[in-house]
């Protein structure tokens, strides 16, 4: 299974993300109106994309959703130049691997954070389902890999810290998965004002409804029935198959997986580093 993973600058990547691409990224030409959608895998990337699509659509704003920054062919990077803006560009990359121009051009960044315990559980199931990732049979074995940063895109806390500590002149909006679960319409409005879009309360509620877990899951299932999967858009470099994404969509599923011992191990290995991060300390583990 290990042939599915390779590493670049010490971070494990799926082989779908080529080393050529990762090393060519600095040639990427950013634009001032680009919006980078950043997440550690399994934090709600597809959810945010749905929210953004609806937001732009509802405000009659244009946007072009691009494939993930790291999931392209270096020879095609220039094609991105011809796309109309604003471009919404998803990526799971840690901050130090993102093209320099993203920062020099002051692009807006939306970073989605999910509590690391639920993220680990979601990733464990994803590893099993996703043919591009190795299968790890036992949850305990997977958790060790996760805690040691030996999973795709590396350590959860390193990833978050890299973005938390980046100097972005207030151009980064951090959004918690758990907050979205609690009050989606409120955060739809927060995201829209960050992007300079205007939606009414009613529109925010409508967008929240269309981006709910149930509606998104049902839409993907209907696509399956018609045997016409909407494989038109890859949002995450780990898969182009949206059927693999909608598992439970809940906060607190970690409690069905972590033993007391595993919880102590989590605390021992990540506790101090989590406490050193304001964003990580504020993560909620239940609803």
Footprint of ligand A3P (CB under 6 A)? 39, 41-47, 118, 122, 125, 211-213, 216, 236, 245-249, 253
Cβ proximity to ligand A3P, 4 vs 236, nearer residue: 236
Please state the φ and ψ torsions of residue 276, each to the nearest 5 degrees: -80, -5
Residue 2 beta carbon to ligand A3P: minimum distance, rounded to whole angstroms: 22
Residue 232 beta carbon to ligand A3P: minimum distance, rounded to whole angstroms: 16
What is the spatial distance between Cα 43 and Cα 47, in angstroms, rounded to a whole number? 9
Cβ proximity to ligand A3P, 17 vs 101, nearer residue: 17
Length of the chain: 287
Cβ proximity to ligand A3P, 95 vs 122, nearer residue: 122
Residue 212 beta carbon to ligand A3P: minimum distance, rounded to whole angstroms: 6
Cβ proximity to ligand A3P, 42 vs 132, nearer residue: 42
Cis peptide before 172 (omega within 30 of 0): no
| Strand order, beta sheet including 87-91 | 64-65, 87-91, 35-39, 108-113, 172-176
Residue 257 falls in the annotated catalytic set: no
Q: Following DSSP, what letter does each residue of 245-270 receive, concatenated? A: T-S---S-GGGGT--HHHHHHHHHHH
Query: Which is catalytic among the residues 46, 92, 132, 159?
Result: 92
What is the spatial distance between Cα 20 and Cα 56, in angstroms, rounded to a whole number? 33
- Dihedral angle over CA of 182, 188, 191, 195, nearest 10: 180
Asked if residue 143 lies in contact with residue 120, where contact means CB atoms within 8 angstroms, the answer is yes
Residue 102 beta carbon to ligand A3P: minimum distance, rounded to whole angstroms: 20
Could you list the active site residues?
92
């Amino acid at each position: 299974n290990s042939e599915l993973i390779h590493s670049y600058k010490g971070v494990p990547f799926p082989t779908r993300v080529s080393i050529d691409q990762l090393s060519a990224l600095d040639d990427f030409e950013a634009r001032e109106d680009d919006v980078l959608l950043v997440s550690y895998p399994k934090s709600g990337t597809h959810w945010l994309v749905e929210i953004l699509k609806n937001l732009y659509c509802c405000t009659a704003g244009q946007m072009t959703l691009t494939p993930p920054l790291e999931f392209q062919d270096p020879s095609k990077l220039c094609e991105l130049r011809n796309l109309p803006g604003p471009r919404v560009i998803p990526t799971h990359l840690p901050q130090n691997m993102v093209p320099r121009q993203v920062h020099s051009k002051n692009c807006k960044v939306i970073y989605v954070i999910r509590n690391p315990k639920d993220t680990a559980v979601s990733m464990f199931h994803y590893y099993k389902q996703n043919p591009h990732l190795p299968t790890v049979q036992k949850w305990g074995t997977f958790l060790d890999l996760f805690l040691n940063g030996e999973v795709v895109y590396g350590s959860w806390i390193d990833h978050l810290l890299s973005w938390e500590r980046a100097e972005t002149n207030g151009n980064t909006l951090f959004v918690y998965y758990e907050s979205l679960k609690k009050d989606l319409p409120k955060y739809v409005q927060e995201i829209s004002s960050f992007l300079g879009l205007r939606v009414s309360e009613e529109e925010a509620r409508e967008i929240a409804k269309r981006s709910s877990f149930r509606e998104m899951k049902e839409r993907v299932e209907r696509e399956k029935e018609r045997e016409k999967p909407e494989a038109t858009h890859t949002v995450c470099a780990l898969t182009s198959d949206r059927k693999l994404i909608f598992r439970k969509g809940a906060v607190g599923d970690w409690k069905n997986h972590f033993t007391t011992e595993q919880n102590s191990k989590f605390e021992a290995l990540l506790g101090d580093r989590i406490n050193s991060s304001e964003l990580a300390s504020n993560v909620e583990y239940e609803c």
